[in-house]
Amino acid sequence: MPLLSHFAELRRRIAISAAAVVVAGIAGFALSDVVIEAAAAPLTHIQGPSLTGLNFTRLGEAFDLRFKIAMTLGIVLSAPVWLYQVWAFLVPGLTSRERRIGIVFVGTAVPLFLAGAWFGWIVVPQIVTLLAGFAPVGSSTMLTASQYFDFLLKLIVGVGISFVSPLGIIALNAVGVLSARSIIRGWRVALVVIIIFSATVTPPSDMMSMALIALPLCLLYIGAAAWAWMHDRRAARRALSAG
């Protein structure tokens, strides 16, 4: 396909993806009340210094919050559409083996992302309880809605994406770009990256929350390294028998 045809194809698929995000975002705006209620629910079960609930400090803050929720839900709900568009654009340039790997990658990425988002949702009450517990006795912790939802969305989406990251290591190993030996030798770099990421998606100076996020990511990295090691052993045995 000529270069200009590639650009035309890319523009068409971006337009389809953007339209899907907008349509799903409209549905997300309609669901924003449900999302706000569900997200504020962990606050009602926290013991210790009293929380004043979610507070809106600006006149347009409630609308801004609903718009942010709508866009987030739009991206998530339309994921099958834009993932397919990305896949359809890339497939002509892939070999049949790489296409099969890609199908497995996409099929595994969705449940892993949902598992990561669920894990992030589970640890939210523990993180809020821990941080609110530092307030002096008799005081109240006031949470602005924007700050709380920024923290919540960053944590849930960030952890969801991080749960998918080991698949990238597995995919690079499957196509022969990254060996298991390189993955195992790079554990120090991976540990630093995991710690930095965990510190980014959790509140500052909250070591316990950071550890809650970092531990499963370390386990996922070990699992990806183990898979790559077994894959390289099988590939070496096949090459030996073929030779």
Mean pLDDT of 94-112: 74
d(CA 94, CA 240): 27
DSSP string, 126-160: HHHHHHHTTSPTT-EEEEEHHHHHHHHHHHHHHHH
Mean pLDDT of 123-139: 71
Please give the model's pTM, rounded to 2 decimal places. 0.68
Q: What is the pLDDT of residue 229?
A: 92
On whether the CB atoms of residues 202 and 210 are closer than 8 A, the answer is yes
Mean pLDDT of 118-125: 80
Q: What is the pLDDT of residue 19?
A: 94
pLDDT band at 53 (very low <50, low <70, confident <90, very high): low
Phi, psi at 51, each rounded to 5°: -105, 140
The first and second tokens of residue 222, run together, are 């070990």
Q: What is the pLDDT of residue 24?
A: 92
The residue ranking higher by pLDDT, 84 or 73, is 73
Sign of CA dihedral 211, 215, 217, 221: positive
pLDDT band at 159 (very low <50, low <70, confident <90, very high): confident
Q: What is the pLDDT of residue 72?
A: 83
d(CA 224, CA 22): 35
pLDDT band at 18 (very low <50, low <70, confident <90, very high): very high
Q: What is the pLDDT of residue 206?
A: 65
Burial 27-40 (b: 16+ CB within 10 A, else e): ebbeebeebbeebb
